[in-house]
């Protein structure tokens, strides 16, 4: 999981992770995702620093915000 957060921190994408990872890196932003109402795990999308967010990552976040 930490390697995944390293990739996000380098601006190489976003990650959907269990909620308890939301405070692991101060440089990253956590966006809560709504589920189907049946909570198994509370998840968040972890975003890179805004200056490093690629167009593809922004497009994925738009999709996640619309769906969840």
| pTM beyond 0.75, yes or no | no
For 44, the domain range is 2-67
Number of domains in the chain: 1
Residue 52 to residue 47: CA distance in whole angstroms: 9
pLDDT tens, position by position, 7-57: 888 888 888 888 888 777 888 888 887 765 666 666 777 777 776 778 887
pLDDT-derived band at 60, boundaries 50, 70, 90 = confident
How far is it, in rounded angstroms, from Cα 22 to Cα 10?
16
Length of the chain: 68
Contact 58, 25 (CB under 8 A): no
């Amino acid at each position: 999981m930490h390697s995944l957060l390293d990739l996000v921190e380098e601006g190489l994408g976003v990650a959907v992770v269990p909620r308890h990872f939301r405070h692991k890196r101060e440089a990253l932003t956590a966006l809560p995702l709504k589920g189907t109402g049946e909570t198994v795990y509370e998840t968040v999308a972890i975003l890179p620093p805004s200056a490093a967010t690629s167009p593809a990552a922004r497009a994925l976040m738009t999709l996640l915000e619309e769906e969840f």
